[in-house]
Structure 1
Amino acid sequence: MADILDVPAGRRPTEQSEAHTGRIILISLVAALGGFLFGFDTSVINGTVGALETQFAASSWALGLAVSSALVGSAIGALFAGSVADRFGRTRTMIMASDLFIISALGSGLAFSLWDLSFWRLVGGLGVGAASVVAPAYIAESAPAHLRGRLASLQQLAIVVGIFVALLGDFAIARAAGSASSPGWFGITAWRWMFFSGLPPAILYGVGALFIPESPRYLVAKGREEEALRVLRDIEGDTAPSKLVEIRRSVRQDRRPLLADLKGGRFGFLPIVWIGIVLAMLQQFVGINVIFYYSSVLWQAVGYSEQSSLLITVITSVTNILTTLVAIACVDRLGRKPLLLIGSAGMALTLGLLAYLFGNAPMDALGKPVLQGSAGTTALIAANLYVVFFGFSWGPVVWVLLGEMFPNRIRALALSIAAMAQWVANFAVSASFPALKALGLGWAYGLYAAAAVFSLFFAIRFIKETKGRELESM
């Protein structure tokens, strides 16, 4: 990680600059813990679904509500997180999100019905939504311009690591107990331990937020310039005073943003806000969460057993982690827009191939597609290549851009709107996949391929490069 986040070529690191770089990496890692909980909380329920259905004799729609309630909470949390962060500060909002994660983990693990479980999941979703807004905003506002892209990419890295840890933890707990429905340690059912496993990282996130400095831009906006200067000296070094002057000049032109500040043009919002909304929604419309939520359908269609399908899903999540590391290494060297363009083209090709393979696959007696021989191997390779293309492009780069692209005066609020749109899109894609699957997997992957093609043209037309630019110039 130290090599990946090293000072770019052409800059000679000194002991002082290395100390400042180490400091900003540390505080960015703490902020990115929210991303870890984001990935963990939305994925941990995967291992509990079968046990919950049995425990509470749940109907499919009630079970679906319990699973998706976190996404609903995430949309609500994202919507209000920006105004909360502007009023109380970035680090206090992190602490609030940590409290919501802790409450959700305890409540979900102690749930006595599917209805109160849905409520506790919704509470956790509020924390997820808040973390999805405050982490990229905090990192973007605290990081030096030459490191900002890589540090903001830590948010996506933390998300995919959280997904991996949740899946691996579910597997380990179920294996130790015999199944998710079996008694585990101290006679407590294994699925309850799966929810309880979210407590340690939630507590660590809250404790960590107590020890990192507040965003210097927030401090200047609140008139706390001496504190802001101390933070900037830790981050920027000798250039801190001139940086403070830039921030002061920018903040003086601003005031607390209102929804009315986002309005403009013929379509309700300012063009930059619409660009952020569409960017965030396209990240989901290309179908990435289908790969992680419903991948067993794909792998079993290729002929793998259910247990092997779970193992492949874990391997896919590792692939996602590795490609996110590639993005961190490249985002400040190649830029944001080139990565998006390469990712869109790759996703369009791989999803188009999956749509073709499943659209032309023969059906078995149960009406499920069957891919045999080279078709099955090709689908397996295409699906993993799709994750690779997403993992180094639209996965991390969208969060980088959302933290950078908005003017200072509307950043937190605009990011909240975009993040809410992302969660609504996540819910729409996840909830619609079973119905699309009934029509045929070819149709489903065809729609995601069309979204990837659109994302390519959207990035070409509307995305402006932000590499190396100061936030005050946005």
Structure 2
Amino acid sequence: MSLEETTSAQPDTHGIGLAILITTVATLGGFLFGYDSGVINGTVKGLQVAFQSNSVGTGFSVASMLLGCAVGAAAAGRLADMFGRKPLLLMSAVFFVISAWGSGIAGTTNEFIIYRILGGLAVGAASVMAPAYISEIAPPHLRGRLTSIQQVAIIVGLTAAFVSNYFIVKVAGDSTAEFMMGFEAWRWMFWVELIPAAIFFFALFLIPESPRYLVSAGKKDEAHGVLTRLAGEQKAGVVVKEIEDTLAADHKPSLKDIFDPEGKGIRPIIWVGIGLAVFQQFVGINVIFYYGSVLWEFVGFTEEDGLLTNVIMGAVSIGAVLVSMALIDKMGRKPLLLIGSIGMAVSLAVMAGVFSMASVTETGLALPAGLGPVALIAAVIYVAFFNFSWGPVMWVMLGEMFPNQVRGSGLAVSGFFQWIANFGITMTFPILLATTGLFSAYALYAIAAGISVIFVFKFVKETMGKTLEEM
């Protein structure tokens, strides 16, 4: 329950300032989510050289974080109910710091994987808790805009990682070359994350705990103080009482909620949520985010040019997300998903077609003259369509489509499958690259995008303008 559901009073100016501060701090978790996901892009070559890993080993090193993400996302809700939103975000910040330092200092593949899994726990928890925390403190008239900032923060974090990687390699000359203090450039790519991770940790001490959690933990006086700062003294007591009444009437979250009470198996709405989560990954977007520099080097680009391409992809992603935010409450969720699926299917098919005409060389693939730019433009269009549609819209729909009594379990199950699908795609790409090649990989992603058109058209219901009860 958010302040929107407990009071319609407009907060004073001080309350707006506090809400914006809380949102800024909480979305640093989203920024780190994006940064931690994107930084691996420029380090793949360094990992291969440092750990002498094959395609399977490299794939697992890159994808290992996602196992932690799945666990972190699945456990975050329950842990936040037990210990509070703020302590869980503080623990995530600690894990971000440990992961950033350890990933850079790791001397073996096993050490690296352990640190990346710790980072994954932080990413998974932040991906769930940051938007939930914001929604519980945001004033009614700012709630939608403040909550949507999380997705922008994720893309900005990805882009920041791409920019950082690019400049480090530009100075060092290569990701495996020495950058500073005797350490290779790829290690410094991870260590740069220590700066925003430390800022996130200390900034969390500036913001209060969620008033909903404080009331549920029996700390009514603290909740009253927070609500006074957010909604004003006049409404604080009323809101505390309304939160108490709602908590008393609430259905306690349980994984049993995913099953139909009449014994008909898993609820259809849960299957739709799982489908949205899985298709978002099966279109292969994280291949671009995790392996972009290696991909473009493989088809003839220099490492520096490959990393610069990532920066362009990040800028396009930010622009596409902003356009989506402007249209999602006007056009609706389902039309954006359909447009995105069609656009991705076409652009992925073009990429697959281009790569099917490539010839194998000792260093990778050689594309026929003039087709390199075609593949690059198709990739940029693909990224734009994804971030215009499935990137932000999937998370919006998962937050809206589940009725109150199954929202917690529905989000947990869908989030778990999303990260597992992400792991599967990330793990298999280097294997496909080393065996059947880029054509088969992008052909599979194009097929998945095509099937997603049918899935959205037949099974996904529009949520714009509808209450959870109507859903």
| Alpha-carbon distance in structure 2 between the residues aligned to 1:315 and 1:459 | 29
Aligned position for 1:74: 69
Q: 1:53 aligns with which of 48, 53, 60?
A: 48
Say yes or no: does 1:450 pair with 2:447: yes
| Alpha-carbon distance in structure 2 between the residues aligned to 1:188 and 1:42 | 22
Secondary structure at 1:439's aligned position in 2?
A: coil
1:75–1:420 Cα contact (<8 Å) kept: yes
| Alpha-carbon distance in structure 2 between the residues aligned to 1:236 and 1:330 | 30
Aligned position for 1:27: 22
Aligned position for 1:105: 100
Residues 1:69 and 1:217: Cα distance change in structure 2 (over 3 Å): same
Say yes or no: does 1:212 pair with 2:207: yes
AA at the equivalent of 2:438: L
Residues 1:454 and 1:218: Cα distance change in structure 2 (over 3 Å): farther
| Alpha-carbon distance in structure 2 between the residues aligned to 1:235 and 1:434 | 49
Which whole-Å deviations, capped at 9, do the CAs of 1:401-447 have from their partners, x for residues lacking one?
A: 33343344543443232222111111111122234343343332232
Identify unmatched segments of 5+ residues in structure 2.
1-8
1:200 CA displacement: 1.8
Q: 1:389 aligns with which of 385, 389, 392?
A: 385
1:172 CA displacement: 2.5
| Alpha-carbon distance in structure 2 between the residues aligned to 1:196 and 1:362 | 37
| Alpha-carbon distance in structure 2 between the residues aligned to 1:19 and 1:235 | 7
AA at the equivalent of 1:118: I
CA RMSD of aligned residues (A): 3.3
1:20 CA displacement: 4.9
Q: 1:155 aligns with which of 150, 156, 168?
A: 150
| Alpha-carbon distance in structure 2 between the residues aligned to 1:154 and 1:91 | 19
Secondary structure at 1:294's aligned position in 2?
A: helix
Counterparts of 1:349-388 in structure 2 under 5 Å? Answer: 349-359=346-356, 361-364=357-360, 368=365, 370-373=367-370, 375-388=371-384
Q: 1:36 aligns with which of 31, 39, 45?
A: 31
Residues 1:123 and 1:150: Cα distance change in structure 2 (over 3 Å): same
Secondary structure at 1:257's aligned position in 2?
A: coil
Counterparts of 1:183-332 in structure 2 under 5 Å? Answer: 183-224=178-219, 227-228=222-223, 231=226, 247-264=243-260, 268-296=265-293, 299=296, 304-332=301-329
| Alpha-carbon distance in structure 2 between the residues aligned to 1:213 and 1:445 | 46
AA at the equivalent of 1:430: T
Aligned position for 1:7: none
1:154–1:328 Cα contact (<8 Å) kept: no
1:315 CA displacement: 0.9
How many residues matched? 459
| Alpha-carbon distance in structure 2 between the residues aligned to 1:214 and 1:229 | 11
Secondary structure at 1:86's aligned position in 2?
A: helix
Aligned position for 1:4: none
| Alpha-carbon distance in structure 1 between the residues aligned to 2:222 and 2:321 | 34
Residues 1:262 and 1:244: Cα distance change in structure 2 (over 3 Å): farther
AA at the equivalent of 1:287: G
Identify unmatched segments of 5+ residues in structure 1.
1-13
2:320–2:387 Cα contact (<8 Å) kept: yes
1:285 CA displacement: 1.0
Aligned position for 1:84: 79
1:146–1:332 Cα contact (<8 Å) kept: no
| Alpha-carbon distance in structure 2 between the residues aligned to 1:398 and 1:150 | 17
1:465 CA displacement: 4.1
Pick which of 447-456 and 117-126 moved more.
Answer: 447-456
| Alpha-carbon distance in structure 2 between the residues aligned to 1:103 and 1:372 | 46
Pick which of 130-139 and 55-64 moved more.
Answer: 55-64
Residues 1:362 and 1:37: Cα distance change in structure 2 (over 3 Å): closer
| Alpha-carbon distance in structure 2 between the residues aligned to 1:189 and 1:376 | 30
AA at the equivalent of 1:390: F
AA at the equivalent of 2:120: G
Residues 1:257 and 1:451: Cα distance change in structure 2 (over 3 Å): same
Identity value in percent:
48
Aligned position for 1:126: 121
1:316 CA displacement: 0.9
Say yes or no: does 1:138 pair with 2:137: no
2:281–2:422 Cα contact (<8 Å) kept: yes
Which whole-Å deviations, capped at 9, do the CAs of 1:352-380 have from their partners, x for residues lacking one?
A: 33334434x2535568362433x444333
Q: 2:402 aligns with which of 406, 410, 413?
A: 406
Pick which of 257-266 and 281-290 moved more.
Answer: 257-266
Aligned position for 1:343: 340
| Alpha-carbon distance in structure 2 between the residues aligned to 1:420 and 1:159 | 18
1:319 CA displacement: 0.9
Q: 1:426 aligns with which of 422, 429, 435?
A: 422
TM value normalised by structure 2: 0.85
Q: 1:94 aligns with which of 82, 89, 95?
A: 89
1:155–1:399 Cα contact (<8 Å) kept: no
1:288 CA displacement: 0.7
Which whole-Å deviations, capped at 9, do the CAs of 1:202-248 have from their partners, x for residues lacking one?
A: 12222233333333443444454555555556556788777667655
Aligned position for 1:5: none
AA at the equivalent of 1:433: F
AA at the equivalent of 1:218: Y
| Alpha-carbon distance in structure 1 between the residues aligned to 2:141 and 2:272 | 24
TM value normalised by structure 1: 0.84
AA at the equivalent of 1:380: L
Secondary structure at 2:365's aligned position in 1?
A: coil
